[in-house]
Amino acid sequence: MNTVNSEKLSSARFSEATNAFVEIFTASVDFDKRMAQQDIQGSIAHATMLAACNILTEQERDDIIRGLTQISEEITSGAFVWSIKQEDVHMNIEARLTDLIGIAGKKLHTGRSRNDQVATDIRLYLRYEISQISAELNRLQNAILALAEQHAATIMPGFTHLQVAQPITLGHHLMAWFEMLNRDYDRLQDCCKRLNIMPLGAAALAGTSYPIDRHLTAELLGFSRPSANSLDSVSDRDFAIEFTAAASLIMMHLSRFSEELVLWTSAQFDFISLPDAFCTGSSIMPQKKNPDVPELVRGKSGRVTGHLVSLLMLMKSQPLAYNKDNQEDKEPLFDTVDTLINCLRAYADMVPHIEAKKTNMYNAAKRGFATATDLADYLVRKGMAFRDAHEIVGLAVRLGIESSRDLSELSLAELQEFSPLITDEVFDCLSLEGSVAARKHIGGTAPDTVRAAIATAREQIMARNLV
Ligand code: ARG
């Protein structure tokens, strides 16, 4: 066969046209065009460096930059025609550049390969997206702080095993979510440090014989430095895996947050109401108001963790250096970015409108003998061993259950039946207010401690360097 496909990449080596299905099967332009602006940004920096090193003339550099700027505008306006024949975003842009400026367009690829080009594009793309995600995360944390401040002294039951355990404040509970997201924020910034290293110059795998200046390109693109090993630069996608792991942790945290919101809106808990704008009704049951946003976010957490596993499996056992397998990194990565940012956005918009039903929360704490530990601690302070106190309080709880009363509703005489150590001031620590107020050490649930934690948190996030 001697049908030469003139449009085929590296066509001179081929005597046969690409199978039509293979052409579609191997193309990535449908999804990697998402990195078009980063591809252009990288190419402008590359051309600038090539001219600075006298590998291109200034005229060629200027033509390239003019052409790429026009292409960028065509892409933004939707006028750019993407072609599957050009396989991917890189080839599409290069082909259009050559159409526009002629021979200088063909010189752009001097001293680079699509292998270092794509590795650079993904890093530029992810760096930008992480800044957007961080801003949404920050917005959500601010919303949590505002709600926590409002509810620093709102009493609710704290749970273990989903059974009422001890009274806490809603502000304290909200600050637990804040802390999780704080670590998530730090993880994203930390991931950026390893991500922000420049692969360009690694070329296909071994580097290039042109006298390039990788420090200059890195500086032009805002990377902290050029990568140290060309083989590693074009082949590893650990930075994408690391980001997806950080994203999975955020989604895991949001799924826990979601689960609690779903429980709390149920008639059985009835602790909060969510704004109507974030819920939907049922097509058949007129009374329903479903917490769709938290449920969807909870569901989407599985999808992001799925992407993490996909990327790990994609990378596993790949020999050095670049392999076409790596083209498969983009869809899971892009979907992780979209899913994460949408979930954070929904939460940041919803949280300020969560309404706490304070009386229901208070009564739930009361019903659950939440101050039993406080009674035991009281007896210990009076000289009893903790295990004995634990036993005695168990008996008091039993009396409460049998007579449908909380510990604070038992009479002094009844309590004294269990231990003569008990005197009138016991009621100070049997009250929910007394119980939470006593936990005033750092990290505790006392309203003043929660207010102090909120103030510290505010300072922390004010010091952030956001886009
Ligand atoms: N579309 C390719 C990718 O996403 C670009 C790199 C292609 N390199 C190659 N040697 N075929 O990985």
- Domains of the chain, CATH where assigned: 20-110 (1.10.275.10), 115-162+171-201+231-363 (1.20.200.10), 367-466 (1.10.40.30)
Cα of 212 vs centre of ligand 1, distance in Å, is 22
Ligand 1 test: best mutation among 10, 13, 39, 327, most atoms within 8 Å of CB?
327
Question: What token pair was written down for 373?
Answer: 């530990």
Q: For residue 465, what pLDDT is reported?
A: 84
Q: Are 246 and 184 in contact (CB under 8 A)?
A: yes
Q: For residue 129, what pLDDT is reported?
A: 98
Cis peptide before 321 (omega within 30 of 0): yes
DSSP string computed for 184-213: HHHHHHHHHHHH-EE-TT-TTTT--SS---
Q: Strand pairing partners for 168?
A: 156
Tell me if 327 CB under 6 Å of ligand 1: yes
Q: For residue 466, what pLDDT is reported?
A: 82
The catalytic residue among 6, 161, 317, 404 is 161
Phi–psi pair at 356, nearest 5 degrees: -90, 135
Tell me if 28 CB under 6 Å of ligand 1: yes
Cα of 117 vs centre of ligand 1, distance in Å, is 9
Q: For residue 6, what pLDDT is reported?
A: 44
**Is-catalytic flag, 161?**
yes
Cα 255 from Cα 278, distance rounded (Å): 16
* pLDDT averaged per 10 residues, the chain (length 467): 46 87 97 98 98 98 98 98 97 98 97 98 98 98 98 98 96 98 98 98 98 98 98 98 98 98 97 89 77 96 98 98 98 98 98 97 91 94 95 95 92 94 92 94 97 97 87
Q: For residue 7, what pLDDT is reported?
A: 55
Which atom of ligand 1 lies nearest, measured to the CA of 204?
A: 10
Tell me if 114 CB under 6 Å of ligand 1: yes
Which atom of ligand 1 lies nearest, measured to the CA of 28?
A: 1
Cα of 327 vs centre of ligand 1, distance in Å, is 6
The structure tokens 């946003």 sit at 293
**Is-catalytic flag, 403?**
no
Q: For residue 8, what pLDDT is reported?
A: 56
Question: What token pair was written down for 231?
Answer: 């083989």
DSSP H or E stretch at residue 166: strand 163-169
Tell me if 326 CB under 6 Å of ligand 1: yes
